[in-house]
């Protein structure tokens, strides 16, 4: 059962299920047991339901699995850490300075895409992998940065491979309709970033 949360008045179920962070969308309850944090939930689903989603999101090779986990964790940590200061910047100059950090991160991530994909369409190769799913979850916000803050961070001139990857990712049937549109994010910005 899918349940939406009121971010300003979180339910007892959420607070009980995710007592450490008390946030969404970071709780999956399966067989009455909570699994917290988006990346861990994705890995859990991949392992618990291997025949449901199709191709596994973690590579089969023992070396490639921790590499994918590293990059997924790095994306979650560093993208958020560099991106939030854009929204917290009080002046246009502060927002532009913060945006340069995000662009630098995305340029480094473009090099990771080149290496991890081995010339194939996704970080996971021919099909979506963990890094694709994690980074894809941030795309709506990256695109919304222009509308909310007047600062562009997704730029084909600076990260052409990553922009092409994002277009392929968003065009997938499994992804369509899942990434929030810019207008929805603009409308909900104060609740989500507070």
The torsion angles phi and psi of 33, rounded to 5 degrees, stand at -110, 130
**Considering the domain boundaries, does residue 80 fall inside one?**
yes
The torsion angles phi and psi of 35, rounded to 5 degrees, stand at -120, 125
How high does pLDDT run on average in the chain? Answer: 85
The predicted pLDDT at position 160 comes to 97
Say what percent of the chain tops pLDDT 70.
Answer: 86
Averaged pLDDT for residues 130-134: 93
**Considering the domain boundaries, does residue 49 fall inside one?**
no
Q: Where residue 117 sits, what CATH number does that domain have?
A: 1.20.1050.10
3-state secondary structure of 92: helix
Q: Mind listing the pLDDT tens digit for each residue in 75-88? A: 988 988 898 899 88
Domain that holds residue 121: 64-193
**Considering the domain boundaries, does residue 108 fall inside one?**
yes
**Considering the domain boundaries, does residue 39 fall inside one?**
no
Domain total in the chain: 1
When pLDDT is cut at 50, 70 and 90, the band that residue 194 belongs to is very low
**Considering the domain boundaries, does residue 3 fall inside one?**
no
* 58 DSSP 8-state letter: S
**Considering the domain boundaries, does residue 23 fall inside one?**
no
The predicted pLDDT at position 19 comes to 62
């Amino acid at each position: 059962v899918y349940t939406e949360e009121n971010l300003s008045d979180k339910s007892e179920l959420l607070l009980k299920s995710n007592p450490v962070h008390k946030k969404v969308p970071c709780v999956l309850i399966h067989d009455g047991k909570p699994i917290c944090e988006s990346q861990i939930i994705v890995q859990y689903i991949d392992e618990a339901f291997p025949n449901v989603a199709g191709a596994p999101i973690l590579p089969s090779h023992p070396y490639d699995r921790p590499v994918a986990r590293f990059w997924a964790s790095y994306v979650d940590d560093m993208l958020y850490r560099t991106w939030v200061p854009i929204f917290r910047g009080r002046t246009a100059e502060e927002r532009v300075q913060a945006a340069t950090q995000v662009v630098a991160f995305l340029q480094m991530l473009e090099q990771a895409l080149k290496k991890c994909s081995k010339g194939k369409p996704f970080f996971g190769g021919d099909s979506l992998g963990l890094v694709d799913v994690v980074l894809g979850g941030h795309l709506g916000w990256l695109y919304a940065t222009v509308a909310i803050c007047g600062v562009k961070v997704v730029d084909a001139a600076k990260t052409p491979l990553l922009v092409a990857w994002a277009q392929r990712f968003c065009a997938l049937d499994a992804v369509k309709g899942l990434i929030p549109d810019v207008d929805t994010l603009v409308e909900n910005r104060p609740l989500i970033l507070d």
